[in-house]
Structures are given as C-alpha cells and as structure tokens.
Amino acid sequence: MSSVVSPKQIAASLTELWSPRVIGEVDDAYIKVAKVRGSLAWHSHENEDELFLILKGRLRIELEGNTVELGEGEMYIVPKGVRHNPVAEEECQLMLIERKSTLHTGTVATEKTRSLAEQLRPV
C-alpha cells in the first residue's frame, strides 16, 4: 500500500539544486520533485513528454521561438522532441511527471545532469 506524501514538503526539504528526486511512480511514469534556481540546460526528450507543476515560486521554460512563464499552482507539458531550457530567477520548487525512460537532460550532459540512480536516492 502507498503512503501519504507531501510533494511540497519534500521539495522544500531538498538541499541540492537541479537534482530531481523520485517520490512516487504511476504505471510507466515517475513523480519527481526538485528545487531549482538559475538555468538548467537546453535539451529535449526525443520520445517523452515532460510535465512541470510549480509548487512554490516561478519558472520560465524557454522554448525555441517561445517562452512559457509559470507561477505557483500552474503546470505546463513540454511535448516530446521540443528543445527547452528551464530557468528560475529565484528559488523555485516543482513537481515533474515523466516516463521512466526520460533522461534528466536528454542527450546533453552537464555538471547539473543527474543519473536515474541519483534521482532514486532516498529523500
């Protein structure tokens, strides 16, 4: 049986930026939370959509030819194959829903890229 969790409380407790942590799973998707500030990296997920839900703060998702601004309680789904770069001017806490096959920064590797093993570490 599942246990009750608070994505907002777990995200607030994180100490590492841009280091998503898996807090649950639904079928073939992971539910993740992260604390972010600054810019991640331009990347795409060729075969997976990516849902961003803002728990606290604001997030800008730069897309090629467009920018999406999200506030607390708002969500946006980046379609598969779309290059994007999440940016938070101030600290932002968010929840992500992604297929289990989704790589953190797609095929782009940076110092902020986290492996699935790192994302699955206990919170």
CA 33, distance to chain mean position in Å, is 7
In a domain, 1, yes or no: no
CATH code of the domain containing 86: 2.60.120.10
For 46, the domain range is 7-99
Confidence of residue 109 (pLDDT cuts 50, 70, 90): confident
In a domain, 121, yes or no: no
Please determine, for residue 3, whether its predicted confidence score (pLDDT) is greater than 90. Answer: no
What's the total number of domains in the chain?
1
Residue 20 and residue 104 in contact, taking contact as beta carbons nearer than 8 Å: yes
The beta-carbon contacts of 109-117 under 8 Å, at least 24 apart in sequence, are 110/40, 110/41, 112/17, 112/18, 112/40, 112/41, 113/41, 114/18, 114/19, 114/20
pLDDT one-digit tens code per residue, 66-99: 999 999 999 999 999 999 999 999 999 999 999 9
In a domain, 107, yes or no: no
Gap between the terminal Cα atoms of the chain: 19
Please determine, for residue 1, whether its predicted confidence score (pLDDT) is greater than 80. Answer: no
Q: Identify the CA nearest to 16 among candidates 93, 116, 100.
A: 93
Question: In this structure, what DSSP letter does residue 17 have?
Answer: B
Q: Please tell me which residue, 2 or 47, carries the higher pLDDT value.
A: 47
Look at the pTM and tell me if it is higher than 0.75. yes
In a domain, 116, yes or no: no
